[in-house]
Structure 1
Amino acid sequence: MQQQTAMDESSIRRRKESQNGSTGHSGHTNDKPAVKATVLQKDVGLVSGICLIVGTMIGSGIFISPKAVLLYSGAVGPCLLIWAACGMLSTLGALCYAELGTMITKSGGEYSYLMEAFGSLVAYLYSWTTVMVLKPSSFAIITLSFAEYASTPFYPGCSPPPVVTKSLSAAAIFLIVTVNCLSVKLASYVQNLFTAAKLFIIVIIVVAGIVLLAQGNTETLSNAFDGSSTSVGSIGLAFYNGLWAYDGWNQLNFITEELKDPYRNLPLAILIGIPLVSVCYVLVNVAYFTAMTTTELLLSPAVAVTFGDRVLYPLSWIVPLFVVFSTFGSANGSCFTAGRLAYVSGREGHMVKILSYISLKRYTPLPALIFNGVLSIIYIIPSDINTLINYFSFAQWLFYGLAALSLIIMRFTRKELHRPVKVPIVIPGLIVLVSCYLVLAPIIEKPELEYLYCTIFILSGLLLYYPFVYRKWARKIMRPITMHLQLLMEVVPPEKVE
């Protein structure tokens, strides 16, 4: 029984190879085509890498978060400074990840780095929290934003019914998961296309803002610091919502194994993509303030759409259309990377083994992608986006801080590792301090149960670690289920390629 799954895997692989060798045209039966190793293929180049970063970062955040950042910062001046500071912070964090990603060229992002620096238990807690909550909830948030913008034109004067947005969100999740299961190249093409679309609408908004500035629409930008908030907790929440819009700067590290020439393309994509997004975000916010007062912006149900109605009429319809494209592209990038984390954690034994299997025909982590999609559909049921953003940011920045700390620790414990990129140690130190602030300040200022629930959920993984990971009971229980799922989906374990 213990060898049955392995035998099935071998038979499937042999059958696939024989098919490849026998389906040629007559007269060419001896020209057996090369059979790819059953591993994730290196199909992601520099342009696709930049598009993954830019396309995942520019999603729903810039069209939703401006209200929250302005609300918590209290005035236009600190609001713009917070947007710029979030961009600088994201760039510094990404530089740390450039060193980590070129030093440890494994997919999985923080998971692989925490494994090297802190060992199996901390990496398991990260994968438990991220695979089960953070990645699927992020996917759900983005598709809910997509659904809201896509359905709003059909309900003029009122908000779309929740059942409509949730159903549309579920349909988007299904479509995106299907695309990612079919082909890595297809998913990359979709990402590149929608990234171009979102940059197009960003350029239109920025140019319109520049025209308004040239016409003297600077009233909202005058006395920009009047009414600024001095609350530590409020500033922390403003950063939360700003950083939510920037989130995605670490996405390329989740697919390092699929990146062509990662030593060159990983840091280069980071240095091109993140500053580009930072400039776009600040200029877009300036454009918003040229067309709306702070009160009007806070009361707007959809900031970008309100801007389009005022500035671009009668072509204002292009704004919600391209926002829909933007959120869809961001959701595609989120799905792409989430599947890789579930795949890597399954490969290391921290999730059920079936998640680490690869499609024999498509060379995609099909079970991991489907698993993430199913969880995301569950998470669209509680559709309070702001609560989900705070919940997401609290836990995510805890792990960002640990990843930066792992970089500092490995400077002393893993000196032998090759470091093509090496950042000054003060940068990861700064990221650790900022992470501590972002985790603790809002909790101290305004304690809420969502933070407690998040902490309890993270620690609850400890209850499952000993029996199912350390003792490997999950493999024994899942073996017959794994075998049937493997045959159903035509997936096999990844081959070890040196």
Structure 2
Amino acid sequence: MHTDPKQNEDMKRELGLLDATMLVAGSMIGSGIFIVSSDIVRNVGSAGWLIFIWLVTGLITIIAATSYGELSAMFPKAGGQYVYLREAYNRMVAFLYGWSLFMVIQAGTIAAVGVAFAKFTAYIFPTLGDDHILWDLGLVEINAAQLVAIVTIVILTWVNSRGVKNGKIIQTVFTVVKILSLGGLIVMGLFGAFNAEIWSANWSTAWDTVRWDTSGVVVSIGGAAVFAGIVSAMVGSIFSSDAWNNVTFIAGEIRNPKRNIGMSLFLGTLIVTIIYVSANLMYLATLSMEQIAHAPADRVAVAAAQAIFGQVGTLVIAVMIMISTFGCNNGLILAGARVYYTMAQDGLFFKKAGELNKFEVPGWGLWAQCIWTSVLCLTGRYGDLLNYVVFVVLIFYALTIIGVFTLRRKRPDIERPYKAFGYPVLPIVYVLAAFTICIGLLIYQPTFTWPGLVIVLLGIPVFFMWNKRYETA
């Protein structure tokens, strides 16, 4: 039987239900909702399928989040999903998740969100764009957007290294502002700038199964091509809905975690699902299918805001995305280091990462995450890395939810103050849906799958190295 190492006793439980819910919602809402609907429409072609993709994504996300509620109540400790995998399976499975999180999932997401912040800052200050090359070092070009991204990541790391209370204030304020601003944009689009002609045209072909190619030609599809289109489209919607599990990483700092983590997971994912579906209805009320499919640089929210506000709409969206991505990165930075803290406590990461600084937060882990994230920003390869790990993220989510079943069999004695909603049917639905999407990705999007698996497998020899050191210590 695995016994937890002594941990969390020095962490301050500063976060309440509102803070935890804002962390869930704020970590989920980055730049994806402003962009990925263009790619979804190119893959599935029509209004009904666009909304279907977002509804299915929202539904399976809520199912996963409510299933995690049971695990969070059983193990209300720092590390969250890493701990659940360790308890349900073994140290190696947990390490491979933590390894993937540090190397790509968390760091790559922080880098991508940081550069998105910088790119939209360039709408207001053009010299800060990615087309402004500062240094050409041969193999690597460093542009202004990368530098802005790194500066924001360093600032947020510094703020969070000085206590969880600082991070919580930024998270709650920025998340409330972005929810209100997104809500205002949706209301303006659906009621203030509603275009009945466009709306009717979009819904007149709501369930046509077509694909838009890059030249604007509409190609009818059927059979396997429809499934391929849905799977490809869901890469964007799933990634836009990811990071909801970050709240489990900071369980050691949440008050009444057995109740508040499960509640925050449900409330946060529900809020974001409603916002995402409503935003896409707003796009359909203001833009034709062709305009959504071929929005310049996929910035469909910019095109919608221009339809609502005129040319000033570009600035409106730029400011909204700056607020959204800044708040999103704060949550990601705050949460990630708690996993490395727990890994270090298990002897599976650098020892210093398992120590708290004078502000009772894992400062060393925060700065290690910051340095690696900055390297990814400079390489410019974070976008590719994120595409690779959508497949891996789904596998780890499915394994964690299977862990609900495993732990009910292995550890029936553990108190379960909260139980997975709809058990066993809904958790099984999620696992089946996740594996169906993974199989589809293996078949139709192999470039999104095999590199991700390679990243995970590279962690196996690293695990044995760390584990040998732990056993001989």
Regarding TM over 0.5, the answer is: yes
Residue 250 (structure 1) aligned to one of 237, 242, 245: 245
Any conservation in 1 of the 2:287–2:304 contact (CA below 8 Å)?
yes
* Matching residue's letter, 2:443: I
Determine if the alignment matches structure 1 residue 91 to structure 2 residue 62: yes
For the residues of structure 2 that align with 1:101 and 1:453, how far apart are their CA atoms? Answer: 31
In the alignment, which of 30, 33, 39 is matched to residue 59 of structure 1? 30
Query: What is aligned with 2:259?
Result: 264
Cα distance between partner residues in 2 of 1:172 and 1:266: 28
Q: After superposition, what is the alpha-carbon deviation per residue over 1:339-377, rounded to whole angstroms, capped at 9, x for unaligned?
A: 1111111111111111111112x1111000001111111
Stretch moving more, 134-143 or 144-153: 144-153
Corresponding residue number in structure 1 for 2:269:
274
Task: Name the residue aligned to 2:469.
Answer: 471
Does structure 1 retain, via aligned residues, the 8 Å contact 2:76–2:257? yes
Change (3 A) 1:388 1:70: farther
Aligned residue number for residue 124 of structure 2: 153
CA distance in 2, matches of 1:368, 1:389: 21
Q: Is the 8 A contact 2:389 2:449 kept in 1?
A: no
Distance in 1 between residues matched to 2:229 and 2:205, nearest whole Å:
21
Instruction: Tell me which of 418, 423, 428 is aligned to 1:421.
Output: 418
Unaligned runs of 5+ in 2: 1-7, 134-142, 211-220
| 1:184 corresponds to | 164
Partner of 2:50: 79
Quick one: which amino acid aligns to residue 407 of structure 2? Answer: M
Q: TM-score, normalised by structure 2?
A: 0.87
Q: Which has the higher Rg, Structure 1 or Structure 2? A: 1
Which range moves more in the overlay, 309-318 or 332-341?
309-318
1:13-412 pair list within 5 angstroms: 39-155=10-126, 160-161=131-132, 163-211=143-191, 212-213=193-194, 217-218=198-199, 219-228=201-210, 230=222, 231=225, 232-300=227-295, 301=297, 302-313=299-310, 315-316=312-313, 317-360=315-358, 362-383=359-380, 387-412=384-409
Match of 2:240, SS state, is helix
Deviations 1:311-333 (A, max 9, x none): 12365223211210011100111
* Percent of paired sites with the same residue: 25
CA–CA distance in 1 between the matches of 2:336 and 2:80?
10
* Secondary structure in structure 2 of the residue aligned to 1:247: coil
SS at match of 1:59: coil
Q: Secondary structure at the match of 1:213?
A: coil
Amino acid corresponding to residue 380 of structure 2 in structure 1: S
Please give the secondary structure, in 2, of the residue aligned with 1:358. coil
Query: Relative to 1, partners in 2 of residues 1:67 and 1:388: Cα closer, same or farther, differing over 3 Å?
Result: farther
Partner SS state of residue 209, structure 1: helix
Cα distance in 1, alignment partners of residues 232 and 110 from structure 2 = 21
Maintained 8 Å contact 1:128/1:458: yes
Amino acid at match of 2:63: L
Q: Which amino acid is the alignment partner of residue 235 of structure 1?
A: I
The Cα of 1:454 is off from its aligned counterpart by: 2.1
SS in 1 for 2:203: coil
Please report the RMSD computed on the Cα atoms of aligned residues, expressed in angstroms.
2.1
Asked if the contact 2:348/2:470 (under 8 Å) is kept, the reply is no
CA change 1:467–1:389 in 2 (3 A) is closer
Aligned residues of 1:139 and 1:334 also touching (Cα < 8 A): yes
Amino acid of the structure 2 residue aligned with 1:322 = M
Query: Matched residues in 1 for 2:23 and 2:330: separation?
Result: 9
Aligned partner letter, 2:463: Y
Structure 2 CA distance for partners of 1:389 and 1:66, relative to 1, 3 Å: farther
What CA distance in whole angstroms lies between the structure 2 residues aligned with 1:77 and 1:382? 39
Change in 2 beyond 3 A, CA 1:344/1:411: same
Residue of structure 1 equivalent to 2:139: none
Paired with 1:410 and 1:368, the residues of 2 have a C-alpha distance of: 29
Question: Residues 148 and 160 of structure 1 are in contact (CA less than 8 Å); yes or no, is this contact kept in structure 2?
Answer: no
C-alpha deviation, 1:107, in angstroms: 1.9
For residue 135 of structure 1, report the CA deviation from its aligned partner.
0.9
Q: Is the 8 A contact 2:23 2:331 kept in 1?
A: yes
Counterpart secondary structure, 1:363: coil
Tell me, in whole angstroms, the C-alpha distance in 2 between the residues paired with 1:206 and 1:314: 18
Distance 1:265 1:197 in 2: 22
